[in-house]
Structure 1
Amino acid sequence: MALQKETTIITCPAPSVEHLDRHGYLFGYPIAHSLSPIFHQTIYDSLGLKWSQFPLPSTDMAHFLQLVRDPKCFGSAVTMPHKVAIIPHLDDITPEARAVGACNTIFRRGDQFVGTNTDTIGVRESFYQNVADPDRVFHGRPGMVIGGGGAARSAVYALVHFMKCPTVYLNCRDPAEVSAIITWCTAAGYGDGLVYVSTAEQAAALEGPGAIVSCVPNFPPLTEAEKVARSVTEVLLDKSHKGAILEMCYHPTPWTDIAALADKAGWQIILGTEAVIYQGLEQDRYWTGKELSELPVQEVKEVIAKELAKARL
Structure 2
Amino acid sequence: MTTPAGPRRAAVLGRPVAHSLSPVLHRAAYADLGLDWTYEAIDCGEDDLAAVLAARAGWAGFSCTMPLKHAILEVAVEVAPLAAAVGSANTLLPHPAGWLADNTDVAGMVAALAEHAVAPRSVTILGAGGTAQAMLAALVALGVESAVVLVRDPARTSGVRATADRLGLTVTVRPLEPGASALGADLVVSTLPRGAADPLARWEWRPDQTVFDVVYDPWPTALAGAASARGARVVSGALMLLHQAAVQVSLMTGREAPVDSMRAALDAAAPGSGL
Answer yes or no: same fold by TM over 0.5: yes
Deviation (angstroms), 1:45: 0.6
Out of 235, 238, 241, the residue aligned to residue 270 of structure 1 is 235
Q: Which residue of structure 1 lines up, in the alignment, with residue 54 of structure 2?
A: 66
Separation (CA, whole Å) in 2 of partners of 1:111 and 1:198: 43
Alignment partner of 1:81: what SS?
A: coil
Q: Distance in 1 between matches of 2:232 and 2:272?
A: 28
Q: Which residue of 2 aligns with 1:87?
A: 73
Q: Which portions of structure 1, spanning 4 or more consecutive aligned residues, are displaced by more than 6 angstroms?
A: 197-202
Aligned counterpart in structure 1 of residue 143 of structure 2, from 154, 160, 164: 164
Q: Residues 50 and 75 of structure 2 are in contact (CA less than 8 Å); yes or no, is this contact kept in structure 1? A: no
Structure 1 residues 17-76: Cα deviation after superposition (integer angstroms, max 9, x where no partner):
xxx522222222331121112210110010001111232223433432323322xx2211
Give the aligned residue type for 1:271. Answer: S
Partner of 1:144: 124
Taking only the aligned residue pairs, the percentage that are identical comes to 24
What residue is the counterpart of 2:3 in the other structure?
A: none
Larger radius of gyration: 1
Letter in 2 for 1:184: A
Q: Distance in 2 between matches of 1:279 and 1:246?
A: 15
What CA distance in whole angstroms lies between the structure 2 residues aligned with 1:30 and 1:76? 15
Q: Structure 2 regions of 5+ residues with no counterpart?
A: 1-5
Structure 1 residues 1-313: aligned runs within 5 Å: 21-59=7-45, 60-70=48-58, 73-109=59-95, 113-131=99-117, 134=118, 137-138=119-120, 141-159=121-139, 161-177=140-156, 179-194=157-172, 196=174, 203=181, 209-219=185-195, 230=200, 234=203, 237-238=205-206, 242-251=208-217, 253-291=218-256, 295-309=257-271
Partner of 1:10: none
- CA distance in structure 2 between the aligned counterparts of 1:270 and 1:47, rounded to whole angstroms: 28
What residue identity is the alignment partner of 2:189?
V
Using the alignment, how far apart are the partners of 1:181 and 1:39 within structure 2?
30
Change (3 A) 1:108 1:259: same
Q: 1:68 to 1:130 in 2, by over 3 A?
A: farther
* Post-superposition offset of 1:168: 0.9
Pick closer, same or farther for the CA change 1:192–1:220 going to 2, 3 Å: closer
Q: Which amino acid in structure 2 is aligned with residue 127 of structure 1?
A: L
The question of whether the paired residues in 2 share the 8 Å contact of 1:248 and 1:273 is answered with: yes
2-structure distance, mates of 1:39, 1:103: 19
Change (3 A) 1:259 1:52: same
* Rounded Cα–Cα distance in structure 2 between residues aligned with 1:42 and 1:170: 36
Unaligned runs of 5+ in 1: 1-19
Between the aligned partners of 1:62 and 1:197, the Cα distance in structure 2 is 36
Over the residues paired in the alignment, what is the CA RMSD in angstroms?
3.1
Q: 1:55 to 1:197 in 2, by over 3 A?
A: closer
Q: What is the alpha-carbon distance in structure 2 between the residues aligned to residue 33 and residue 207 of structure 1? A: 30
Partner amino acid, structure 2, of 1:176: A
Q: Deviations over 1:205-251 (max 9, x none)?
A: x7963332112345387xxxx96xx38x836x43xx71432111112
Compute the displacement of 1:109 (Å). Answer: 4.8
Does the residue aligned with 1:270 lie in a helix, a strand or coil? strand
d(CA) in 1 for partners of 2:231 and 2:92?
A: 39
**Aligned positions, number:** 267
Q: Are the structure 2 counterparts of residues 309 and 75 from structure 1 closer, same or farther at C-alpha, using a change threshold of 3 Å?
A: same
